[in-house]
Amino acid sequence: MTREQLQEVREWATAKLATREEPPWAWYQYMKLRETLDAILDGVAATKPLGSPEVALHSGAGLRLVASTDRQETVRPHRAVTPIRLPT
């Protein structure tokens, strides 16, 4: 769905809530729908499209997998289970 379609659905849910003629169970569902659409629209506003210059600038700066150069016999062992002290 496009941002405009999401906003239309949000306006529809708001209009349904404004009538105050819906049963309580429907009112609750319209409120959840509106809150969810608010969260989605906020997320859409906070993201940048893939073709934007900001995304192209950082495309090569991601994480990369590297091999460990430590020898296994020099690595310090760690406990498999951490003891838990309970209050007495």
Q: Give the DSSP H or E segment for 31.
A: helix 24-46
Are 32 and 26 spatial neighbours (Cβ–Cβ below 8 Å)?
Answer: no
Q: Is 37 a domain residue?
A: yes
Determine the pLDDT at residue 42: 93
Containing domain of residue 27, as a range?
1-48
In a domain, 4, yes or no: yes
C-alpha span between 70 and 48 (Å, rounded)? 39
pTM of the entire predicted model:
0.55
Query: Does residue 66 lie in a domain region?
Result: no
DSSP state of 75: S
- Do the domain assignments include residue 32? yes
Q: How many domains does the chain have?
A: 1
pLDDT tens per residue across all 88 residues of the chain: 889 999 999 999 999 999 989 898 999 999 999 999 999 999 988 887 776 766 656 556 667 777 777 777 776 777 777 777 888 7
Q: Is the dihedral of CA 73, 76, 81, 83 positive or negative?
A: positive
Let me know if residue 56 belongs to a domain: no
Cβ burial of 17 (10 Å; 0-12, 13-18, 19+) is middle
In a domain, 53, yes or no: no
Residue 71 maps to a domain: no
**Does residue 27 lie within any of the structural domains?**
yes
Note whether 14 and 20 are within 8 A (CB).
Answer: no
